[in-house]
Amino acid sequence: MGPTPIVELKNLTKTIRGKKIIDDLSLQLYPGQITGFLGPNGAGKTTTIRMMVGLMKKSGGEVVIDGQTLSADFEEALSKVGVIVENPEMYKFMSGYKNLLHFARMQKGITKERIDEVVKQVGMQNRIHEKVGTYSLGMRQRLGLAQALLHRPKFLILDEPTNGLDPAGIREFREYLRLIAKTENVSVFVSSHMLSEIELMCDRIAVIQNGKLVDLRDMSEPQEAHYYVEAFPADQTFELLGSLGFKSESVNEGFVIQAEKTKIPELVNALSTAGLELYAIQPHRKTLEDQFLELTGGGQLAETASK
C-alpha cells in the first residue's frame, strides 16, 4: 500500500446521549487514492465526515491530517482539506465569483489568479459573475467543487456529492475526481448511497455499519478471479469445464467459473478443439451491491436503496 497516509482516523468515537454513534473507528487514507465510504442510513457516515471537518466535536479518538491533529491545530489541519458537504449551499444573493472570493479569504495565500484558474477548471467562466440564485443544480455543484479546490487541498472530502445531478453531470464529476486524484495526487474520500457510482469511481471502499468499520477492500484487485463463459451447446460446455477441473455455476446462458487469469488461453483452446461454439468469455465480478448486501444484510440495504 503506497506511502504514508495523508489522513488517519484513530479510534474515532462519538457518543450522543449515551449512545455510541461512532464506535472506535480507525481508517487510513492515502494520496492519489479515491476511497468510497459506504453504509446504510444511520450507520454514521455523515457523523464521521462531520467530525473530520470540524462541524461536530468528537467524543474520543483523533483525526490526523497531514501530520496535524484536528484538536491540537484545527486551522493548520483543515487548511489541507477541501470539503463538499451534501449540496453545496452557497450565498444565493451573491455572484459565484463573490462566493469564491468569500471562501478564498478564509484560506491563506489564494490569489485572484488562482480563483480565475479554478473557475476555468470547472468551466464556469461565462456565468461566474451571475448570482448563484440563478444557477442550476449542476452549476452549483461545479461551484461547490471550485470552492473545495481553491487552496489546492491534499485531501478532498465529499458527502453525497452527486445528489441531484443528472447522469451526464455525475459522469463529468466522476471523471474530474479521478483526474485530480491522479494528476495532483489528492486523496479523495467520498460517501454515497449510490453503490454503482462508488463502484465506478473508487479505488477502495470502506463500509461502516452501526458506527463500526466492517469492511475495507481494494476495488482494483478482486479477491477471487471469476470468469463468465458462454458456449454452445451448454451441457457439453459444462462437462468440458468439469473435466478441466473448473467449478462452474450456471448463470444466465452460460457459466461462471473460478479461474486464474493464466488458465484462460488454455480454456479457450480446449473449447475450440472440442468444437464448441464460444460466444463469450469475460472477467466476472460480483457487483458492489451484491457484496454490500452480503456485508450489511438486506433489510438495511432496502432502506438505503429507497433514498
Strands (E), 113-264: 155-159, 187-191, 204-209, 212-218, 226-232, 248-251, 254-258
Choose, by CB under 8 A, the member of 3, 17, 19, 93 that binds another protein: 93
> Torsion angle of alpha carbons 139, 181, 170, 97, nearest 10°?
0
CA 219, 220, 223, 228 dihedral sign is: positive
Nearer CB in complex with another protein: 76/289? 76
CB of 147 to another protein, least distance (A): 7
- Residues numbered 114-153 forming contacts with another protein, rule: CB under 8 A: 147
Choose, by CB under 8 A, the member of 74, 117, 179, 303 that binds another protein: 74
- C-alpha to C-alpha distances, 153 to 6, 107, 149, 161, 217, nearest whole angstrom: 11, 11, 6, 17, 25
Interface with another protein (CB under 8 A), residue total 33
Nearer CB in complex with another protein: 58/284? 58
Nearer CB in complex with another protein: 45/284? 45
Choose, by CB under 8 A, the member of 4, 72, 92, 123 that binds another protein: 92
CB of 74 to another protein, least distance (A): 6
Nearer CB in complex with another protein: 127/284? 127
From the list 49, 60, 56, the residue with the least C-alpha distance to 20 is 60
- Choose the binding region for another protein from 5-13, 90-98, 186-194, 254-262 (rule: CB under 8 A): 90-98
Three cell numbers, residue 110: 489564494
From the list 64, 39, 55, the residue with the least C-alpha distance to 155 is 64
CB of 11 to another protein, least distance (A): 19
Q: Say which amino acid occupies 27.
A: L
Nearer CB in complex with another protein: 102/120? 102
CB of 55 to another protein, least distance (A): 4
| Per CB under 8 A, 53 contacts another protein | yes
| Per CB under 8 A, 105 contacts another protein | yes
CB 33 within 8 Å of CB 137: no
- Choose the binding region for another protein from 53-61, 191-199, 216-224, 286-294 (rule: CB under 8 A): 53-61
CB 101 within 8 Å of CB 115: yes
3 state SS of 177: helix
Three cell numbers, residue 63: 483525526
Write out the residues near another protein by the rule CB under 8 A: 50, 53-57, 74-79, 81, 83, 85-94, 98, 101-103, 105-108, 147
